[in-house]
Structure 1
Amino acid sequence: MPAARIASLLPSATEIVAALGLADRLVGVTHECDTPPEVRALPKLTRSLLPPVLSSREIDRAVAASLRGDAHTVYELDSALLQALEPDVVLTQALCDVCAVPYAAVEGAVCTMPRAARVVSLDPENLEGIFACIEQAAAALGVPERGEGLAGRLRGELARIRAAAARRGGERPTVFLCEWLDPLFCGGHWVPEMVESAGGRDVFGRAGEPSRRVAWEELAAADPDVIVLSPCGFSAEETMRRFPEFAGAHPGWQQLRAVREGRLFAVDANGYFSRPGPRVVEGVRILAAALWGPDTSSPLPANTLFRLGPGGEWERVA
């Protein structure tokens, strides 16, 4: 029997629950959960501890200070609300303390609840890990067959994208997927594999490994064919709005080959790259469109891919 009351402390977990057909069983979500739209009205179990208006550089400094201090997080869990909602299952993660409420805080809150709840930690490090987490969540929620079906469909779609990229032949374009604008970070964990699956060669990221800081000198020396701006947690619109932070911090950016050749892109990182959930395969399709041009037979979701034009204006690709 499916779990009756589910608390999700991850936007990706919320999307997984919905994709499994259990959105009506959700009793609480995070302040960042926005997909599907109906979850936005649910009680919010978390809040950000960061001021609402910070530059990319200021956010990086605040996160670093939090990790050096006692907090080890930039989020706060409403333990009292979690207890009041009385969930049967709590979905969370232990992979990244700056991406969500730390696992220890969740475990501590659940231990004080009068009604026992099962804590399920979803911690993928690569694309197959994401599919396995979908199956893990489905099993914990009492619908294992739905998880197997969903994960199987996603694996099949990814295989088709990879096969299409392989058929192109020739040398793969080099790619810098920028996971933070200032300072620069490359993508980590599943993101480099997304680049490879789309037919590119990630110049800095390594599949299964965390993201890391990239010095401007490294980027200038690598001078990749394609640059994809995909700052963690930002939509494409927010990335474009913040683009002056990238440009202002790196005066030589206009000399990069990707910029000169019109191959600097902004994507919806929040929906399709940062969240290890069902939409990640769509993220691979978005990357493939950036590398090779859109597939007109299969339109991409709206407002997910933009290109910086020769006059400095952003042009919508999808």
Structure 2
Amino acid sequence: VLAGRTSACDYPPEISKIPIVGGFGTPSLEALLKIEPTVILTADLADPTIAKQMTALGLHYEQINCRKLDDIPLAIELIGQLIGYEPQANSFAQKIRSEILALRQESQATTNRPLVYAEIWHDPIMTCGKGSFLSEIIYIAGGQNIGDEVAKDFFQVDPEWVLSKNPDIIFCFYMSKEGSAKNTIPQRPGWQNIKAVSSGNIFDGLDNNLVLRPGPRVIHGIRIIKEKIKSASLK
């Protein structure tokens, strides 16, 4: 039985009925003690000392790490062991493994990979680097991440750097108060000369949760990115 969730845990919609016991990475110890959980599943804790406090209070927690696609089925299996649903979890994990393998095999047939720039924030401008979860998704979907020359999950970039890379496709994985990225990005000085901009290959309005949150739904996210790359007008 799911006894509590963070304010960031919003899928599936039915989860809204479950009590909130803190924010992402910032659980309320008082709220946790009230629901008396058998086990607490964590991803990242904003304050590492919270883990020590939970242990001191007799709360059993397990950190679930998902940094790569292959970590997802492993996480499913671990959760299955922890909550007593091992057979069901193993079956589901194998299904996810098979789907990831199929997508990788399809990707191996890709010859001419378009250069992809993935913008995850606009102020300051941020992108993803080599070895990141998002870069792995871009590659399997048939693209080549221009940020792969930097061995960081995420990093800040200069607009001139993006200009020099001249990507074929731009994905914007955020919601901006300034409006659609399709309208704002072409207004940046010099960016009209980027192939992705001049060809109209700017994609936004996606469900970012499908690619930025490691989990089973990422399979659907990869397929969406793959379709967008296929639909791009390349020069």
TM-score after normalising by structure 2: 0.85
In structure 1, C-alpha distance between the alignment counterparts of 2:202 and 2:66, rounded to whole Å:
28
Report what 2:67 is aligned to. Answer: 125
The answer to whether the 8 Å contact 1:77/1:105 transfers is: no
RMSD, matched Cα: 2.8
Residue 250 (structure 1) shift:
3.2
In structure 2, what is the equivalent of residue 36 of structure 1? 12
Name the amino acid aligned to 1:273. Answer: V
Establish whether residue 260 from structure 1 lines up as the match of residue 232 from structure 2: no
Superimposed CA distance per residue, residues 270-305 of structure 1 (whole angstroms, 9 cap, x where no aligned partner): 421121111111111111011113xxxxxxxxxxxx
Describe the superposition over 1:218-266 as per-residue Cα deviations: whole angstroms up to 9, x where unpaired. 10000111111113xx5xxx68836399549833333221011111101
In 1, distance between residues paired with 2:85 and 2:151? 28
| Structure 1: distance between partners of 2:40 and 2:116 | 37
Q: Deviations over 1:26-59 (max 9, x none)?
A: 11101121111111122111248xxxxxxxxxxx
Q: Please say if 1:274 is aligned against 2:212.
A: yes
Quote the residue 2:188 is aligned against.
Answer: 250
- Unaligned segments of structure 2, at least 5 residues: none
Moved more, 219-228 or 253-262: 253-262
Shift in CA distance, 250/174, structure 1 to aligned 2, threshold 3 Å:
same
- Per-residue CA deviation, residues 164-192 of structure 1 (Å, 9 max, x unaligned), is 3334x431111111121221211252111
Q: Distance in 1 between matches of 2:9 and 2:120?
A: 20
AA at the equivalent of 1:104? P
The question of whether the paired residues in 2 share the 8 Å contact of 1:92 and 1:121 is answered with: yes
The residue identity in structure 2 corresponding to 1:254 is: Q
Give 1:164's aligned residue. Answer: 106
Structure 2 Cα separation of the partners of residues 239 and 286 of structure 1: 24
Percentage of identical aligned residues: 25
Tell me what 2:51 maps to.
107
Are the structure 2 counterparts of residues 109 and 244 from structure 1 closer, same or farther at C-alpha, using a change threshold of 3 Å? farther
- Does structure 2 retain, via aligned residues, the 8 Å contact 1:89–1:119? yes
From 21, 45, 65, the equivalent of 1:45 is: 21
1:155 to 1:246, Cα distance in 2 relative to 1, 3 A? farther
Distance 1:246 1:106, change over 3 A: farther
Contact 1:130 1:277 in 2 (8 A): yes
1:182 aligns to what? 123
Code of the residue aligned with 1:225 in structure 2: it is: D
Q: What's 1:222 paired with? A: 165
Instruction: Please report how far the alpha carbon of residue 205 of structure 1 lies from its aligned counterpart in structure 2 after TM superposition.
Output: 3.7
Report the residue type matching 2:75 in the other structure: C
Q: Secondary structure at the match of 1:285?
A: helix
Judge conservation of contact 2:182–2:203 (CA < 8 Å) in 1. Answer: no
TM-score by length of 1: 0.64
Q: Which residue of 2 aligns with 1:10?
A: none
| Mapped partners of 1:242, 1:106: distance in 2 | 38
Distance 1:239 1:197 in 2: 31
Aligned to 1:86: 36
Matched, 1:191 2:125: no
- The number of equivalent residue pairs is 230
Taking the aligned partners of 1:154 and 1:206, their CA distance within structure 2 comes to 29
Match of 1:173 in 2: 114
